[in-house]
Amino acid sequence: MRTLEVLSIGPYVSVQDEGRPGHLRHGVSSGGAIDPLALEAGRLLVSNEHECAAFEMLALGGRWRAGDEPLLMALTGAHFPAHIEGRPLEPLCSFWLRPGEILDIGVARIGNYGYLSIAGGIDVPLVLGSRSTHIRGGFGGYQGRLLQAGDRLSIGAASGAGKACRLLLQQESAIVEVRILWSAQAALLEKGERQRFLDTPFEITHERDRMGVRLKSNSDPIRLRNGLNALSGIVAMGDIQVPGNGQPIILLNDRQPTGGYPRIATIIGADLICFAQLPAGSRVKFKAVDEQVAVSALQKMKEEAGSMATRLEPVAREPLSTHQLLSQNLISGVVSPKR
């Protein structure tokens, strides 16, 4: 049976796919993977269909044991050190987890969000067209919650070729200048205060989850012309919200559908993924751009994602364990007795 057992787990591991857009009018945010490019890389490495879900890990992975059948897997996104029975795994390279073997995934060294993809995907029910976990709503994913030690998850039937491969991608350097579009509520900032916002270095705090990320600065809090007087309205992914303490919050996939705190700007789509992968303690500044720059950057990102499949190459062979070596016929041909 194609199963994966959770032996131990990080505090924030959930089932995620591409999300469930189109339900905001019902009070349901789109959700889905924080880093959709990493999710796509994992999908390609195990030859999954687009609707397949993977495990999303924030900062810490866990220990996993395969059931009665081998599983083709891939680890993408943030750099999580990982090994199988002591054998270290290469990043962006799919691998086999044999029956009974244990996969260990440690603490992220670079980035925040990592994805464990499995050929066949995680076999959980579709809810509103998605398998993503809506943690605050308590639905989707595996029983509508984060994973726990002792969970045993069913894995779907693999549809791909079942061969390990490698994805050749350039490692992008972390951004320190994040591009934004001013929102309609930016008018709540005086002109000088708007420039001060752009000139201020902000630090990413440890207060983060799939809903948002809190920032802080050593400068005076952001001051709004009319205080917190703003009409509630639809909240977009990447919105920069200013609560009462004047320290911004960046809203992510599981954001609330509407919000009353002023939203002065929005991080452009092409920069939001990189921003979400920045670790706590990183310092960033914001740069205002126009809509044309934002659209061009998004188109470039989509083109690069679309060409990802052309950068796959087969793995020559996987390292064999002693058990596997003993099970192989390493001699071919005919051996004649000594004359």
Tokens 């599981």: give the residue: 254
Q: What confidence score (pLDDT) does residue 327 get?
A: 43
**Distance between CA atoms of residues 90 and 165, nearest Å:** 11
Domain identity same for 16 and 149: yes
Q: Kindly tell me if the per-residue pLDDT of 229 is higher than 70.
A: no
**Distance between CA atoms of residues 275 and 87, nearest Å:** 32
The answer to whether the beta carbons of residues 286 and 210 sit under 8 Å apart is no
Domain identity same for 94 and 148: yes
Q: Is residue 334 a part of any domain in this protein?
A: no
Domain identity same for 135 and 182: no
Q: Which residues contact 275 (CB under 8 A, 6 or more apart)?
A: 175, 178, 213, 250, 267, 284
pLDDT tens figures, 92-124: 999 999 999 999 999 999 999 999 999 999 999
Domain identity same for 162 and 56: yes
Q: What confidence score (pLDDT) does residue 227 get?
A: 65
Q: What confidence score (pLDDT) does residue 244 get?
A: 87
Q: Is residue 208 a part of any domain in this protein?
A: yes
Q: What is the number of domains present in the chain?
A: 2
| Burial tier of 141 (Cβ tally within 10 Å: 0-12, 13-18, 19+) | buried
Hey, what are 209's tokens?
Answer: 């989850």
Band the pLDDT of 297: cuts 50, 70, 90.
very high
What residue numbers bound the domain in which 295 lies? 177-302
pLDDT top residue among 27 and 122: 122
pLDDT top residue among 316 and 208: 208
Domain identity same for 194 and 286: yes
Q: Is residue 114 a part of any domain in this protein?
A: yes
pLDDT tens figures, 252-277: 999 998 887 899 999 999 999 999 99
Q: Is the pTM of this model over 0.75?
A: yes
Q: What confidence score (pLDDT) does residue 282 get?
A: 96
Q: How far is CA 292 from CA 198, 263, 289, 295, 298, in A?
A: 20, 21, 8, 5, 10
CATH of the domain at 228: 2.40.100.10
Domain identity same for 162 and 252: no
Band the pLDDT of 174: cuts 50, 70, 90.
low
pLDDT tens figures, 128-164: 999 999 999 999 999 999 999 999 999 999 987 678 9
Domain identity same for 30 and 154: yes
Q: Is residue 45 a part of any domain in this protein?
A: yes
Q: Is residue 321 a part of any domain in this protein?
A: no
- The mean pLDDT of 238-245, rounded to a whole number, is 94
pLDDT tens figures, 53-102: 999 999 999 999 999 999 999 999 999 999 999 999 998 999 999 999 99
Band the pLDDT of 249: cuts 50, 70, 90.
very high
